[in-house]
C-alpha cells in the first residue's frame, strides 16, 4: 500500500507491517522515513537488527539465508536491505520475490531503502509481492509552492514557531536542500527559547544562503513564468559549477517541447492529447506549467529563442564569442516571460522578440 512520508508515522502506529519499501532521492525525508520504521520496530519490541548493504556482486543468497533462518528463532528482527541506486537485476528481483514467500510465516520486518522506483518497477513481481505485505513510501522533493508550509510545520518539530513569510524566506535560502533547511531550523531552535516565534528578520540574520538547484528546477521555473526565481537559479547553477552545456540542454529541450505542443494544437488537437504525444509524456502534474508557457509564448517567439539557443551552442563549442553565462541567463529569463530582455542589450547575439 502506498503511503506518503508525512503519513507514515500514523500508519506505523496502527500496525507494523512485514515490509516497508522507502524509495526516492530526497535525502531528508528518506532518512526520516527509515528512522520512523526503526522506531516503530523498537516500539514493537524488536531489538535485533541486521543490515545488508547491496554493492557490486552482492550475494543475494544472504537475503534468502536470513529469511530461512528467521523461522528457527522465537525473537523477531529488523532486516535492512540498503540498495541505494544499485539495480536489482534478475537475481535480485528473484530473491526479493522468494523472500516475500519465505517471510509470510514470520514476524520479522524488512526495510528496503532504495532510489526512485519507476512505474515499470512498481509493476514487477517482486514489488507486488512485497507491497501486499506492507507499505511503499515514495519520497519526493517538496514542491516550491508548498515549501514554506512544509518548513513551517517542520519548525514545530524542533520546538519553535515560524511565520509563513519567514518560512518562505528560509525556503528561498535553502531551496532544493531540505537537509540544510532542517539544520538551520535546529540551529535556530538552539539559539532561541523554546516556543519562540521567528519572523523574517530572524531568518535574514540567522540563516546563510545555502540553496542548491538543478536544471530541472530551472526548467520548471521557466515554464511557470517565475523570472525572479529563474535568475536566482541560474546564478546558483553557475556558482555550484554546473556545466553550461547541461543548462543549455535543459532550456533547449523545453523550447523544442513547447514548439511541438504548438504544432499539435495548430492541427486541432486538444492540449491533453498534445501532451501525450511528447516523449517522455508530459504527466498531469506538469501540464499546468506547460499550459502557462504555451499561453505566454507564441511560436514566433519560441523560434527566435531557439535561434538564440543555437548561437549559444556555437559559443559552447568555441565557434562564437557570445558571452555564455549571461546568454544562458537571458535565454532563461525570456523563456520565463521577462519583458524586453533580448532587446535591451547591445550583444550581437540578441534578437528582437
- pLDDT tens profile 6-33: 889 899 999 899 899 999 988 899 999 9
Integer Cα distance of 11 and 135 in angstroms:
9
Res 180 pLDDT > 60:
yes
Output the pLDDT for position 169. 85
pLDDT category at 71 given cuts 50, 70, 90 is very low
Output the pLDDT for position 301. 93
Integer Cα distance of 289 and 101 in angstroms:
44
Sign of torsion over alpha carbons 19, 102, 108, 79? negative
Angle at 121 between CA 257 and CA 126, to 5 degrees: 175
The fraction of the chain above a pLDDT of 90, given in percent, is 37
Confirm if 141 and 176 have CB atoms less than 8 A apart.
yes
Residues recorded for the chain: 353
Contacts of 83 (CB under 8 A, 6+ apart): 54, 112, 113, 114, 115
Output the pLDDT for position 202. 79
Higher pLDDT, 348 or 120: 120
Phi (first) and psi of residue 54, to 5 degrees: -85, 120
Integer Cα distance of 216 and 234 in angstroms:
11
Integer Cα distance of 335 and 353 in angstroms:
11
Q: Stretch 235-241: mean pLDDT, rounded?
A: 86
* Local structure of residue 161 (DSSP, 8 states): E
Output the pLDDT for position 85. 84
Output the pLDDT for position 176. 63
Span of 67-71, 155-159, 189-193, 310-314 with lowest mean pLDDT: 67-71
Render pLDDT for 130-163 as a digit per residue (tens, 0 to 9): 998 899 999 988 888 888 899 999 999 899 999 8
pLDDT category at 212 given cuts 50, 70, 90 is low
Beta bridge partners of 48: 77
Q: Is 83 helix (H, G, I), strand (E, B) or coil?
A: strand
0.85 exceeded by pTM? no
Residue whose C-alpha is closest to residue 311's, from 323, 300, 329, 293: 323
All structural domains of the chain, each given as residue ranges with its CATH number in brackets, are 5-139 (3.40.50.300), 147-206 (1.10.8.60), 215-335 (1.20.272.10)
Amino acid at each position: 500500500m502506498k503511503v506518503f512520508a508525512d503519513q507514515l508515522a500514523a500508519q506505523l502506529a496502527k500496525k507494523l507491517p512485514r515490509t516497508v519499501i522507502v524509495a526516492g532521492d530526497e535525502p531528508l525525508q528518506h532518512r526520516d522515513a527509515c528512522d520512523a520504521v526503526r522506531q516503530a520496530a523498537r516500539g514493537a519490541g524488536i531489538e535485533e537488527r541486521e543490515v545488508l548493504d547491496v554493492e557490486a556482486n552482492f550475494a543475494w543468497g544472504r537475503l534468502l539465508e536470513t529469511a530461512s533462518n528467521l523461522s528457527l528463532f522465537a525473537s523477531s528482527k529488523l532486516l535492512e536491505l540498503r540498495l541505494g541506486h544499485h539495480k536489482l537485476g534478475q537475481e535480485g528481483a528473484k530473491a526479493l520475490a522468494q523472500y516475500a514467500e519465505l517471510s509470510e510465516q514470520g514476524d520479522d520486518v524488512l526495510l528496503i531503502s532504495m532510489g526512485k522506483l519507476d512505474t515499470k518497477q512498481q509493476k514487477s513481481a517482486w514489488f507486488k509481492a512485497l507491497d501486499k505485505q506492507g507499505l511503499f513510501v515514495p519520497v519526493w522533493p517538496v514542491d516550491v509552492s508548498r515549501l514554506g508550509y512544509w518548513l513551517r510545520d517542520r519548525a514545530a518539530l524542533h520546538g519553535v514557531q515560524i511565520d509563513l513569510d519567514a518560512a518562505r524566506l528560509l525556503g528561498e535560502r535553502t531551496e532544493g536542500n531540505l537537509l540544510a533547511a532542517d539544520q538551520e531550523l535546529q540551529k535556530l531552535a538552539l539559539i532561541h527559547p523554546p516556543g519562540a516565534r521567528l519572523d523574517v528578520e530572524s531568518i535574514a540574520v540567522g540563516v546563510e544562503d545555502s540553496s542548491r538547484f538543478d536544471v530541472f528546477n530551472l526548467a520548471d521555473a521557466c515554464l511557470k513564468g517565475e523570472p525572479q526565481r529563474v535568475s536566482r537559479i541560474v546564478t546558483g547553477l553557475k556558482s555550484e559549477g554546473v556545466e553550461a552545456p547541461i543548462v543549455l540542454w535543459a532550456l533547449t529541450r523545453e523550447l523544442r517541447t513547447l514548439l511541438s505542443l504548438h504544432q499539435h494544437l495548430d492541427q486541432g488537437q486538444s492540449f491533453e492529447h498534445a501532451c501525450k504525444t511528447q516523449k517522455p509524456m508530459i504527466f498531469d502534474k506538469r501540464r499546468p506549467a506547460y499550459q502557462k508557457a504555451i499561453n505566454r509564448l507564441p511560436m514566433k517567439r519560441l523560434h527566435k529563442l531557439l535561434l538564440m539557443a543555437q548561437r549559444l551552442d556555437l559559443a559552447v563549442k568555441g565557434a562564437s564569442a557570445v558571452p555564455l553565462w549571461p546568454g544562458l541567463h537571458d535565454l532563461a529569463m525570456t523563456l520565463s516571460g521577462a519583458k524586453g530582455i533580448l532587446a535591451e542589450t547591445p550583444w550581437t547575439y540578441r534578437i528582437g522578440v
